[in-house]
Amino acid sequence: MARREVSRSGGERSAPRAVDERSPLLGRARRESSSSVVDDVERTAPTRTYDEDAKPQHERTPTSAVIKIVLILLVGTFTANADGSLVMATHPTIASEFDDLENSSWLFVAFALAGAATQALYGKLSDVYGRRSLLMVAYMLFAIGCALVGVGQTMWQVVVGRVISGSGGSALNVLGLLLITDLVPLREVAAWQAGINLAATVGRSLGGPVGGWLADTIGWRWSFLGQTPIFMVAVLLCWLFLPGGKRASKTETESEDVKPEESNKSDLASVDFLGAALLALFILAFLLPIEIGGAKIPWTHPLIFVLFGASVVLFGLFALTEEWYAKEPIFPLELLKQRDIVLTYVITGGQVAAQLGLMFSVPLYFQVTQCVSNTVAGVHLFPAVFGNAIGSILAGYLIKSTGRYKSLLVIATIASSVSYVLLLLRWHGDTNVWESLYIFPGGFGAGLVQSAGFISVQAAANPKHKAAVTSGMFLTFQIGMILGLSCVSAVMMETMRWRLEALLQGMGLEAIARKEIIEKATSSVDYANHTESHISKAIVQAYVEGLGFSHGVSLISSALAFVGAVFLREHKI
C-alpha cells in the first residue's frame, strides 16, 4: 500500500511494463480514478436514484475503434440468431425424421439448459482471461455443436450437439455487451446495442426462410454444417482485431510489480467454481422436471419429487457458498436484495418466456393448418422478428436521447399482451395473410425489452457488479426460454392429446385405433396430410385448440412482466 501512495504523490516511478494480451484495457491512472469513484459510491450511495447526479464512468473511446469491434461481434451475432430461427422453422421436420415430434422441444430446451448451466461463469472468467479469449472459446463450442448436429444419426445425438452449441451460445450476448460497456458510457450502450440487435434480427429473419429452404431442397443438416466455417472465421477475426485486455485485478491495482503469472493465478483462484457448479446443478434439477413432467412421466412420479427436492437442497448449498465461502461470489446474493434488479429480471424472463413460446408455436400452426413447406413456415416468423428490430432500434434511440427506460418497458409488455390476446381470439385454423401480422406487437415488445432491460439492470447496480448483473440477466433469459418452451410444448401436446382422444371417441373408434392415431399425430407433423379426411380434420382441430392454450401461457408470462414494469423504479443514467 505504501508503494501506491508514493506513486500517487509523484515519487519515483517504475519503468512501464510491456503490453501484452493480458494487459488491462484501462491505464493505471484511470483504474485508480475508477476505483476511487467506486469507493465513493459504496460509501455514500449503494443504490442510485433518478434524481442524483450521474458521474461519467468512461473516458471516450474513439468511435472508429468501437465500430471495428461491433462489426466483428456482428458476424457471430448474425449467425447465432440465424441458427435460432432456423431451428424454430425446421424443428418439426428434424424431429419427424426420427419419428419423434413429441420431443422436438428438446432442440431448444437442451440449448437453453446448457446455456443456463454455463452462463454464470463467462462473466467472471472474462475478467480473468479477457473478453476476447472467452469469446473465441464460445465461438469454437458453437461451431463444434453445429457440426455434431449436422452429422447426428439419432434424435439424441442431435440434442447433444445442441447442448454443446448452447454452452457456447450463452456467452455471445453477455460478452459482446460487456465489451461495449467497457468502452462507452452507459447512456450510449443502448444505441450501440441496437446495432447488434439489428444484426440479430436480420439473422433471425433470414434464418427461418433459409433454413426452411435448405430443409426442402438439400436437407436440414446443411443449415447446421454451413455454420461451422462461419464461426471459425469469427474466431480468427476475434484473435486478429479484438482487444485482449482484462479487468485490472485487486493485486495489480495495489502493485505494478506483481508478475503476470502470479496475478493470473491469483485471479483464477478467486473464481467461484464451486458456486458456479452448484448454481448449474440447481438450474438443471429445477428445470428438468418441468420439461419431462406430464410429457415423459406423470407429475406424480417419484423422480419429479426427487428432482424438485434436490433443487431446494442445491440452492441452499449455493446460497451458503456465496454468503460464507466464496471470496468473490459468482453471483453476489446481495443483488437479489435490490428491488429494481429483481424486477428487471422478472420483466426480461417473463417477456422471453412469452416470445419463445410464440416463436415455437407459429411455424407449427401454419404447417398443421395450411400444410405449408418449411420455407413458408419460416417466413411466417418475419413479422415478429421485424417488430423485434424496430423495437430494439427505437429503444436505443429514445434511451440515448432522454435517459428514460421505464416507460419503454411498460409499453413493451402491453404491446406483447395485445399480440397474444389477438392470437387467442383470431387464430382458429383459417388465418389469412393479414392476420399473420398479429405477432408483430409481440416481437416489438421483445425488442424494447432487450435494450431497455439491459440498461435498467446496469443503472440499478453498483458498477463493480457489472459482469455479475449482466450474466444474471442473460441467465434469466435462458431460464425464461426453458420455462416458456417447456410450458408451451407441454400445454399444447397435452391439450392436443386430450382433444384428439375425445374427437376420435366421438367417431366411434376403438381404443387401440385411437391410441395408434394419437401416437402417429404427435410423432410427425405430416401425418395429418396422409390420413383419411375426417381423421385429418380432427387432428388439425386438436392441434389448433392445443396451440390456443399455448398462447394463453404466453399471455400470462407477458402479464407478469407488465406487473414488474409497473413497480420498477427508474434510475438516472
Q: Looking at the predicted structure, is the pLDDT value of residue 272 above 90? A: no
**CB–CB of 364/493 below 8 Å?**
no
What's phi and psi for 505, nearest 5 deg? -65, -35
- Tell me what pLDDT residue 359 has: 82
**pLDDT at site 262:** 54
Predicted local confidence at residue 244, as pLDDT: 66
Cα distance between residue 502 and residue 485, in whole Å: 26
How many C-beta atoms lie closer than 10 Å to residue 160's C-beta? 16
**Which has the closest alpha carbon to 346: 553, 565, 47, 555?**
565
* Domain 63-244+259-272+327-497+546-567 sits in CATH 1.20.1250.20: yes
* Element housing 536 (H / E): helix 533-567
Are 424 and 551 in contact, with CB atoms under 8 Å apart?
yes
Rounded CA gap, 96 and 102, in Å? 9
pTM passes above 0.85: no
Task: Give the burial string for 97-125 (b: 16+ CB within 10 Å, else e).
Answer: bbebbbbbbbbbbbbbbbbbbbbbbbbbb
3-state secondary structure of 184: coil
Residues 6+ apart with CB under 8 A from 394: 447, 448
User: Which range among 30-44, 55-69, 211-225, 443-457 shows the weakest confidence by mean pLDDT?
Assistant: 30-44
Tell me which DSSP letter residue 324 carries.
I
Provide the percentage of residues in the chain whose pLDDT is more than 90.
17
Ordered by start, the domain boundaries in the chain are: 63-244+259-272+327-497+546-567, 273-326
The answer to whether residues 68 and 180 touch, using CB atoms and an 8 Å cutoff, is: no
The residue type of 298 is P
Instruction: Convert the pLDDT of each residue in 288-301 to its tens digit.
Output: 887 777 667 788 88
**Cα 151 from Cα 165, distance rounded (Å):** 14
Residue 348, CA distances (Å) to 341, 452, 562 in order: 11, 10, 10
Nearest to 568 by CA among 450, 406, 416, 457: 406
Are 187 and 573 within 8 A, CB to CB?
yes
Question: Is residue 384 a contact partner of residue 450, using CB atoms and an 8 Å limit?
Answer: no
What φ, ψ does residue 152 adopt, rounded to 5°?
-60, 140
Contacts of 30 (CB under 8 A, 6+ apart): 59
Residue 321 reports pLDDT greater than 50: yes
Closest CA to 32 of 72, 1, 65: 1
- How confident is the model over 476-514, as pLDDT tens digits? 887 888 788 878 888 888 888 888 998 888 888 888 888
The better pLDDT of the pair 205, 212 is held by 212
What angle in degrees, to the nearest 10, is found between the helix axes of 63-97 and 106-129? 150
Residue type, 238: C
Cβ neighbours, 10 Å, residue 40: 11
Q: How many helices, marked H, and strands, marked E, lie in the chain?
A: 21, 0
Q: Please, is 135 exposed, middle or buried when counting C-beta atoms within 10 Å of its C-beta (0-12, 13-18, 19+)?
A: buried
Q: Give the per-residue pLDDT at 61.
A: 66
Q: Cell digits for 119?
A: 452462463
pLDDT of residue 566: 94
pLDDT tens-place string over residues 378-421 = 778 888 888 888 898 898 889 888 888 999 999 999 999 999 99
Please give the Cα distance from 22 to 430 (Å, whole number): 60
